[in-house]
Structure 1
Amino acid sequence: MKIYNTLTKTKEEFRPIRPGEISMYVCGPTVYNYIHIGNARSVIAFDTIRRYFEYKGYRVNYVSNFTDVDDKMINEARAQKISVSALAQHYIEAYRADTAALNVQPATLNPRATNEITAIIKFIQQLITKGYAYESAGDVYYRTRKFANYGALSSQNITELEAGASEHVNVAEQKRKEDPLDFALWKKQKQADEIAWASPWSLGRPGWHIECSVMSTKYLGNTIDIHGGGQDLEFPHHENEIAQSEAATGQKFVHYWMHNGFVTVGADQAKMSKSLHNFVTVHDLLKTTDPQVLRFFMASVHYRRPINYSTENLEQAKNILQKFKNTLVNLAYRLNDSSISDRSPAVQAAIAQTERNFIKAMDDDLNVQNALAAIYDLLPILNANLSLAKVDKEALKHAQKLLTDWLGIFGISTKKLLNTVQKQDDEIVRLVAQREQARKNQEWAKSDELRDKLKAMGITVEDTPQGTRWRRD
């Protein structure tokens, strides 16, 4: 299996640190608002990646944090006149509800920054002791230039970074820094209502970047297999994590860096973000959209490519998912009827080839589009066999299991898919029985009328020597 490593800019053969196990850290949300679908893209992308590793037999230790203290948290809590902890708890619960609706597996652990203050202070002290950090007027900063490979992940030039930093650092902060490139590890409390903890340097709070370094190394070890997040985190967040972690531990921080593409919106395909006010929250979208459709829409695009969000693209995903659903319903129906089984080497060969094509595509840096295309090509072959008087039951049972497993990797529950159509079944069975009775009574006009009604419901009725059968189109 090959994975694209953002650090080396190449696809590399995946070799875990421990055989059969994977340590995986994915940056989680800052919990000051509902997540929008741009945030959900990262959650779904790495859940899909995790699921595929588990499909291949790996045990995945999956850690994803909650950033529950930073400037946005403080400002929003102040605006709502509530505590930062109350704000965080509300949106953590909302996050769990929204991601559960999208069938995202719970992380092995969701550490919270505010529960790790002691560990953060200890980590910062290590960096000070090693000369990589310094205290200034109650703040603590990291000496960026002291880390030799700074900028390698995001392909940033240190000279260009220096010019950019000089433009964005305010005068007061610049006076506290040795260098414009230095970034904060600890921030002294500026106003009395700001959440703060005691430290050797000041009453204050941790910087954003140090939180993830501490939580990943604490719960997964000094060196981990995979670190993931959105492309917007490459710089400065992940760049700073590398500098902090490797300076503190003296060991390689991450073997494989993986970053998902943005969600774009509108004709100009602008990146969706809260700062641009062009976002749609998952919380609101789920009020009008089937969560399985939204999940499939997000999971069916290669994780490194951008996704353009539009109602048209969402509808297209819905139609494709419907075809998978129809085949699963037809499989369940024929496997439960009294059809005589008849071996079909062609169907068996097609299923085996699809399985090889699926794994080949997914092993190539999780190429979900090629993997789905392979499954999609199998559907008409299965449906053709399903329409015969004699079906290859063993082959179709195998196909049913594979489809369930494959769609499960994309977060689609076949049980839920089948349940959504179960409510229609009683009505369909009743209409089919009425039509069959009309045929027996030679009431041809009524029979045709009932057939047309079923057709409008997406149901095709087949009159066979074994009796009347129906299937979804």
Structure 2
Amino acid sequence: MSLRLFDSATRQVRDFVPLVPGQAGVYVCGATPQSGPHIGHMRSAVVFDVLQRWLERSGYRVTLVRNVTDIDDKILAKSVEAGVPWWQHALTFEREFAAAYDSVNVTPPTYEPRATGHVTDMVDLIQRLVDAGHAYPAADGSGDVYFDVRSWAQYGELTNQGLDDMEPAGDADPRGKRDPRDFALWKGAKAGEPATASWPTPWGRGRPGWHLECSAMATRYLGPEFDIHGGGLDLRFPHHENEQAQSRAAGDPFSRYWMHNAWVVQSGEKMSKSLGNTMSMEALTRQVPAVVVRYLLTTPHYRSNIEIVDGSLEEARTAYERIENFVVRAAEVLGAVVTDAALADVALPQGFVDAMDDDLGTPAAVAVLHETVRAGNSALAADDKDGALTAALAVRAMADVLGVDPLDPHWRGTVGGRAEDRLRTALDALVRSELDARTAARAAKDFATADAIRTRLSAAGITVEDTPGGARWTLEEKA
């Protein structure tokens, strides 16, 4: 295998050389279930699901850990607003995240630990840091324990920052800190907080800091050194910087590669709850099937932003349906040899392999996928069953790596098996035929025929919009 990955720590594309031959340990920062999931959360989950699928397809046995941060300042605050216990609030939204992950066919992680289940591991890690002179209890008696950033000369190496250029850590009152950039490993219990949200430690009752949680859980399940640590680009600083510093200061080599996916943006801004520009999974899947959302999240390169604009979902639907329509047609013509194929045994086109080995180059990989769809459709039209079979198996195998195989049991009853989606596909084919005829009429300056086609479609409740990329159609909304 010649997989190369962009390592955020070195800012270079490096050959992937696993710690243990034939195995890969991956840790991904998961949800803080303060509220429901949006498409930005799902992007990270899908990116690292594709990574896992590609590693497994390449012969690795993957251990993937995705945590749940189920105790946090925001969870405590939002649970008070909701009038429910903090743990109930967190569990409610944890279940929403689980349903959202499943809706886009994200493979369940090998382990999905909750922070509250690993407090003992966290206290042990703090003690190691205190003993090594890299952490200290606050002198103000608050019960807080801080990481001493000036004690660790490598602090800032992940994000290539100098300490004096960094903003103060805003995770606790600075009065108990030696340096305003010291970050909280442990937060002492405060008046008014529920007793259930604190645990006993040598420094008093309290709860863990966010950064500490991930270091402790990653080490528990993957050991002191593991292959890949992933998450969204917004986690590089301070979260991942702090994770690396505290783990290495405690003597653990920690992650050997760092991977960060870019954002889903609207109007150039990162999608976030604080900006109020989120797109919930529930809302999105009312517009298009979940497999289309997955396709939309998979096709751009993971280090490129995804800009959500008007028409993005429909464009993704149209592109995905080209794949689905070919696979369904091939299955109808060729039968069980397509539907029951063992995809792990199907040879992938070399162009697809090269693209995926080049830092998970999904844009080029998807281009190979669509080229193969076109070749398969040509083979079906020519009654070339051998060519159609070769293409159909290759398309299914490539789509499986990307998590969008139309015949995956996960999607059955979702797209091809759902009556309304099959009707939509058929309607689209009929409307496209009319639009192609209208385009030809306009090119021939036969405007009377072109207008008649548009009038006919309008009478059927179909609105046609002419765009630089061609005509688009939508169903008219009923008043």
When normalised by structure 2's length, the TM-score is: 0.81
Which stretches in structure 1 are left out of the alignment for 5+ residues?
338-350, 429-451, 461-473
Structure 1 residues 193-208: aligned runs within 5 Å = 193-194=193-194, 195-208=197-210
1:151–1:239: 8 Å Cα contact kept in structure 2? yes
Task: Compute the displacement of 1:455 (Å).
Answer: 6.2
Q: When the two structures are aligned, how many residues end up with a matched partner?
A: 413
**Superposition pairs for residues 47-446 of structure 1, below 5 Å?**
47-136=49-138, 137=141, 138-161=143-166, 164-165=167-168, 173-194=173-194, 195-248=197-250, 250-266=251-267, 269-336=268-335, 355-389=349-383, 391-393=384-386, 395-415=387-407, 420-422=415-417
Three-state SS of the structure 2 residue aligned to 1:201 is coil
The alpha carbon displacement at 1:336 in A equals 3.5
For 1:456, which of 407, 411, 430 is the aligned residue?
430
Partner of 2:445: none
Distance (whole Å) between structure 1 residues aligned to residue 181 and residue 50 of structure 2: 36
Instruction: Indicate conservation of the 8 Å contact 1:65/1:110, yes or no.
Output: yes
Which structure has more relative contact order (CA 8 Å, sep 6+)? It is 1
Report percent identity of matched pairs.
36
Counterpart residue identity of residue 406, structure 1:
M
Looking at structure 1, the residues matched to 393 and 56 of structure 2 have their Cα atoms a distance apart, in angstroms, of: 16
1:408 Cα deviation after fit: 1.4
User: How far does the alpha carbon of each residue in 1:386-426 deviate from its partner, in whole angstroms, 9 at most, with x for none?
Assistant: 1124x243x4333322211211122113225675345669x
- Distance in 1 (CA, whole Å) between partners of 2:108 and 2:18 is 22
Per-residue displacement from partner, 1:291-342 (whole Å, max 9, x unpaired)?
A: 00001000111111101113411111111101111111221122149xxxxx
Q: Is the 8 A contact 1:325 1:418 kept in 2?
A: no
Cα 1:251/1:120, change in 2 over 3 Å: closer
For residues 233-261 of structure 1, what are the alpha-carbon distances to aligned partners after superposition, in whole Å with 9 as ceiling and x for unaligned? 0000000001111111x242111100000
Residue 454 of structure 1, CA deviation: 11
Aligned equivalent of 2:440: none
Q: In 2, distance between residues paired with 1:457 and 1:122?
A: 65
Match of 1:36 in 2: 38
| Conservation of the 8 A alpha-carbon contact between 1:169 and 1:180 | no
TM superposition shift of 1:169 = 8.1
What is the match of residue 343 of structure 1? none
> Larger Cα Rg: Structure 1 or Structure 2?
1
What secondary structure does 1:34 align onto?
coil
Q: CA deviation at 1:457?
A: 7.4
Please tell me whether the aligned partners of residues 330 and 392 of structure 2 are also in contact (alpha carbons under 8 angstroms).
yes
Whether the 8 Å contact between 2:377 and 2:388 is mirrored in structure 1 is no
* Corresponding letter in the other structure for 2:156: G
Q: Distance in 1 between matches of 2:308 and 2:294?
A: 13
Question: Matches of 1:239 and 1:146 in 2, distance apart?
Answer: 15
CA contact (8 A) 2:351 2:368 kept: yes
Q: Is the 8 A contact 1:2 1:13 kept in 2?
A: yes
Matched residue SS, 2:287: coil
* CA deviation after TM superposition for structure 1 residue 35, in Å: 1.0
Equivalent position SS for 2:35: coil
Say what the alpha-carbon RMSD is for the aligned residues: 2.5
Alpha-carbon distance change, 255 to 169 in structure 1, aligned in 2, over 3 angstroms = closer
The alignment's TM-score, normalised by the length of structure 1, stands at: 0.82
CA distance in 2, matches of 1:31, 1:155: 30
Query: Take 2:113 and 2:412, find their aligned partners in 1: how far apart are those partners?
Result: 36
Residue pair 1:185, 1:207 contacting (<8 A) in 2 also = yes
Whole-angstrom distance in 2 between the partners of 1:135 and 1:455: 68
Q: Which amino acid is 2:311 matched to?
A: E
Shift of 1:110: 0.6
2:474 aligned residue: none
Which has the larger displacement, 121-130 or 189-198? 189-198
The 3 A distance-change label for structure 1 pair 455 and 216 is closer
Judge conservation of contact 1:34–1:283 (CA < 8 Å) in 2: no
Moved more, 69-78 or 287-296: 287-296
| Alpha-carbon shift at residue 273 of structure 1 (Å) | 0.5
> CA–CA distance in 1 between the matches of 2:201 and 2:113?
21
**CA distance change for structure 1 residues 415 and 319 in 2, over 3 Å: closer, same or farther?**
same
